Structure 1
Amino acid sequence: MNQIPTSASSLATAGLRIAVVSASWHRDIVERAHEGIDAELARQGLDPAATLTHFAVPGAFEIPLHAKKLAESGRFDAVVACGLIVNGGIYRHEFVTSAVIDGLMRVQLDTGVPVFSAVLTPRDFHDHEEHRSFFATHFVKKGEEVTSACLATLRGLRQLQALAQ
């Protein structure tokens, strides 16, 4: 059920449509960002179910292309990327990290649709309970932070658009 925005801040974000593209690699950890995204949207007076559309991709490397197609569709005001690129002890980690982050920036600049990253690239991730628990909790926080940045940016862009009219 959509909430009726009551503050000037929520009026500036009413009717937003945000695509969330999440890598399926380490899905149990990465999808914890969705909890933070939902919580921050609700805290700011928006209905997550009415605001978000979720898309899953196999891994982080696939996120930029999906983000580009979603941005070009005209259906979304912003795209949020979620993923975990782990260092498996080989050089590939740095290449994938650079490709994903550079790709997300390129999508944003090429399309004019803001793209936000909750793609984490820890130097040290080991697949044991202590790290899995730490990163699962960390992704909730990153979901909150990326949503806050997304909403603030979209408010600012709406203000700039209003000035131009």
Structure 2
Amino acid sequence: MTISISSQPSRIAIIRARWHADIVDRSVDSFIAEWQTTEGASPIDIFDVPGALEIPLHAQTLARNGRYSAIVATAFVVDGGIYRHEFVANTVLDAMMRVQLDTGVPVLSAVLTPHHFQESEAHIQFFKEHFIIKGREVASACRHILTERAKLLPSVTV
């Protein structure tokens, strides 16, 4: 079998929840910075959704349109006192997994759920810095999975 790796750059979609945008946007910024260190100006399209629960349907729509080599989702799911935030996070991650398995398009997660979060300056600063790290990590994971898939699937763009 011959594997042909496209010379076209990968097109990446980032879906970001707008709850706690000041924190979530840190992962987007660091993803883009990290991605561009090796991938240059390959296209990255950013899509906004209200919250984490809207991510899976948006990811499914993007995956089915065939334009994207990978989809990255980022959100900050915290305990707001109304419901158990772990249930929201589990639902979102399960649905994202189903999207990637059903469509064959990698859906990577920077959807984070802390055990405890208070709207204090110390917590906000900690999670802003943590999301910077997670953005870099998901960029590295994205690069890695696309490279590995290109070895397996002749039509995957790297």
Q: TM-score, normalised by structure 1?
A: 0.86
Answer yes or no: is the 8 Å Cα contact 1:36–1:144 preserved in 2.
yes
Answer yes or no: is the 8 Å Cα contact 1:41–1:147 preserved in 2.
yes
Aligned ranges 1:70-109 → 2 under 5 Å: 70-109=62-101
1:22 maps to: 16
Cα deviation code 1:42-80 (max 9, x no counterpart): 221422xx4200000000010000000000010101100
| Equivalent AA in structure 1 for residue 21 of structure 2 | R
Aligned residue for 1:40, secondary structure, equals helix
- Cα RMSD between the aligned structures? 1.7
**In terms of mean alpha carbon deviation, does 93-102 or 110-119 score higher?**
93-102
1:32 maps to: 26
Aligned ranges 1:49-60 → 2 under 5 Å: 50-60=42-52
Q: How many residues align?
A: 151
Q: How far apart, in 1, do the equivalents of 2:122 and 2:6 lie?
A: 41
Q: How far apart, in 1, do the equivalents of 2:83 and 2:59 lie?
A: 25
Aligned ranges 1:76-155 → 2 under 5 Å: 76-155=68-147
Aligned residue for 1:137, secondary structure, equals helix
Answer yes or no: is the 8 Å Cα contact 1:40–1:144 preserved in 2.
yes
Residue 12 of structure 1 and its aligned partner are, at CA, apart by 7.2
Return 5+ residue gaps in structure 1 as ranges: 1-10
Return 5+ residue gaps in structure 2 as ranges: none
Q: How many percent of aligned residue pairs carry the same amino acid? A: 50
Answer yes or no: is the 8 Å Cα contact 2:52–2:77 preserved in 1.
yes
Q: How far apart, in 1, do the equivalents of 2:100 and 2:147 lie?
A: 16
Instruction: Indicate the structure whose relative CO is greater, using CA pairs within 8 Å and at least 6 residues apart.
Output: 2
Answer yes or no: is the 8 Å Cα contact 1:22–1:30 preserved in 2.
yes
